[in-house]
Amino acid sequence: MQRVNVKRHLTVMNRLLLAPVLLVSIAAASPRAPQAAAAAAPVPAVTDVSPGTLAVSPGTPAVPPTPKLKGPKLVEPHLHVIRSGIKNRPRIALTFDACMGKADDRILSALVRERIPATIFVTARWLKHNPQALKVMLDNPDLFELENHGQNHIPAVDKPALIYGIASAGSPEAVRVEVQGGADAMLASGVPAPHWFRGSTAKYDLSSIAQIRAMGYRIAGYSVNGDGGSLLGAAVTEKRIASAQDGDVVISHINQPTHAAGEGVARAILDLKARGVEFVRLQDVEDMGDDQTTQ
């Protein structure tokens, strides 16, 4: 996630008006919206906009989108797991994205110490640079389900678009490479074959969803955005995750050890355990995803 620099984007727009390229620019982030570029530089504020509109800073007059700038319709699928239905024993799936960068040992060690199962979405890039953290996960197969977060953390959208400032794959072939490259790297690292895919930014267009489903994957949305792309403070992150309800799928990040959010994640894990939560991985339970992501 990053705040969009309006001047820069207007410059980009000018270029795009000269070239038949589609542009979608989306700035972050409602509380339950997905956060994308966890590795991007922290920024002081965010602006809510919908796909297809131009992001602007507060106080700046909005620039209406022109037909030439209209990008692909993007969706941000939700995912829930089947509720336990048992009072005081809510069922929650913790999912973590390992986009790139390092491993957050505050979270990883808490999961191992407390014996809390979780689903980790890894990229080829993250696997390459974090063999020690990977070993911890592989040494605890009862705790960690590893799934596919792509090869190079490129949004799995098959048309040109900018999402949180990240260029999308832009073609079906590039989507295929992103998905298959992630899976190949997992197998090469000794990880069991993945069954779930979650793309960078957690946004897709419907045709890329159909393509990824045809490759044999379920697509992992979420229902609670825990850490705002790892850019939220510790207290806010803890509160968001700790308030998850029966059937929720929580997304947060395990690749930003220097961010305050990870401290909040680690604390929330203990809060949930104290609440009597039944922690599940995606492979362990039935689930329900919208936008044709699991059905």
In whole angstroms, how close is the CB of 252 to Zn ion at the nearest point?
A: 11
Minimum CB separation of residue 163 from Zn ion in Å reads 11
Instruction: Give the largest CA-CA distance in the chain.
Output: 59
Residue number, 99 or 265, with CB nearest to Zn ion: 99
Provide the Cα torsion 191, 214, 209, 117; round to 10°. Answer: -30
Nearer to Zn ion, 99 or 224 (CB): 99
Work out whether 40 is an interface residue with Zn ion (CB under 5 A). Answer: no
The residue (of 25 and 255) whose beta carbon lies closer to Zn ion is 255
Pick one of 76, 97, 227, 246: the residue that binds Zn ion (CB under 5 A): 97
Q: Which of the stretches 13-21, 61-69, 96-104, 226-234 binds Zn ion when contact is defined by CB under 5 A?
A: 96-104
Q: Rounded to 5 degrees, what are φ and ψ at 208?
A: -70, -35
| Shortest Cβ 98–Zn ion spacing (Å) | 8
The residue count for binding Zn ion (CB under 5 A) is 3
User: Between vectors from CA 161 to CA 197 and to CA 11, what angle results, nearest 5°?
Assistant: 145
Choose between 78 and 275: whose C-beta lies nearer to Zn ion: 78
Beta strands in the chain (DSSP E): 74-75, 79-81, 91-98, 118-122, 144-148, 162-163, 166-167, 196-197, 204-205, 218-219, 224-225, 249-253, 278-280, 287-289
Q: For the CB of residue 67, give the shortest distance to Zn ion in the complex, in Å.
A: 31
Distance of alpha carbon 285 from the chain centroid: 20
Nearer to Zn ion, 200 or 294 (CB): 200
Among the candidate windows 91-99, 167-175, 263-271, 275-283, which touches Zn ion by CB under 5 A? 91-99
Residue nearest to Zn ion (CB): 99
Residues 6+ apart with CB under 8 A from 103: 130, 132, 133, 254, 255, 257
111 touches Zn ion (CB under 5 A): no
The residue among 90 and 262 lying less far from Zn ion, judged by its C-beta, is: 262
Query: 96 - beta bridge partners?
Result: 120, 252
- Closest distance of CB 229 from Zn ion, Å: 8
d(CA 62, CA 56): 6
Residue 99 makes contact with Zn ion by CB under 5 A: yes
**200 near 150, Cβ under 8 Å?**
yes
Minimum distance of Zn ion from residue 149's CB (angstroms): 6
Nearest CA among 47, 120, 132, 92 for reference residue 224:
92
Give min distance, CB of 288 to Zn ion, in A: 23
Interactions with Zn ion, residue window 187-206 (CB under 5 A): 200
Cβ-based nearer residue to Zn ion, 97 or 263: 97
Which residues contribute to the site for Zn ion (CB under 5 A)? 97, 99, 200
